[in-house]
Amino acid sequence: MKILVFGKTGQVAMELQRQADVVALARDEADLSDPTACAQIITNADADVIINAAAYTAVDRAEDEEELAAMINGETPTAMAQAAAVRGIPFLHISTDYVFDGSGEEHWATSDTPSPVSAYGGTKRQGEVGVAAAGGAYAILRTSWVFSAHGANFVKTMLRLGKERDTLSIVNDQIGGPTPAADIAATLLEMAKAFHAGRSESGTYHYAGAPDVSWEGFAREIFRQAKLTVEVSGIPTSDYPTLATRPLNSRLDCSALENAFCITRPDWRQGLKHVLQELGEIK
The model's pLDDT over 107-155, given as tens digits with 9 standing for 90+, comes to 999 999 999 999 999 999 999 999 999 999 999 999 999 999 999 999 9
State residue 153's pLDDT score: 97
Tell me the average pLDDT across 80-90.
Answer: 98
Question: Which distant-in-sequence residues (6+ apart) come within 8 Å of 168 by Cβ?
Answer: 158, 161, 162, 219, 230, 231, 232, 233
Q: Residue 81: exposed, middle, or buried by beta-carbon count in 10 A (0-12, 13-18, 19+)?
A: buried
Q: Where are the domains of the chain?
A: 3-214+238-278
What single-letter amino acid sits at 237? T
Mean pLDDT score of the chain, rounded to an integer? 97
Q: What is the 3-state secondary structure (H, E, C) of the chain?
A: CCEEEECCCCHHHHHHHHHCCCEEECCCCCCCCCHHHHHHHHHHCCCCEEEECCCCCCCCHHHCCHHHHHHHHHHHHHHHHHHHHHHCCCEEEEEEHHHCCCCCCCCECCCCCCCCCCHHHHHHHHHHHHHHHCCCCEEEEEECCEECCCCCCHHHHHHHHHHHCCEEEEECCCEECCEEHHHHHHHHHHHHHHHHCCCCCCEEEECCCECCEEHHHHHHHHHHHHCCCCEEEEECHHHCCCCCCCCCECCECCHHHHHHHCCCCCEHHHHHHHHHHHCCCCC
- As annotated, the active-site residues are 120
pLDDT beyond 90 at 199? no
Q: Please compute the mean of the pLDDT values over residues 151-162 and round it to a whole number.
A: 97
Q: What is the pTM of this model?
A: 0.97
pLDDT value at residue 200: 84
Predicted pLDDT of residue 235 = 97
State the average pLDDT over residues 80-108.
98
pLDDT computed for residue 283 by the predictor: 83
Please report which confidence band the pLDDT of residue 53 belongs to, taking 50, 70 and 90 as the band edges. very high
- What's the pLDDT at 34? 98
Assess whether pLDDT exceeds 90 at residue 276.
yes
| Mean pLDDT on 18-27 | 97
Q: What's the CATH number of domain 3-214+238-278, 1.10.3720.10, 3.10.310.30, 3.40.1440.60, 3.40.50.720?
A: 3.40.50.720
Tell me what pLDDT residue 50 has. 98
Give yes or no for residue 195 having a pLDDT over 90. Answer: yes
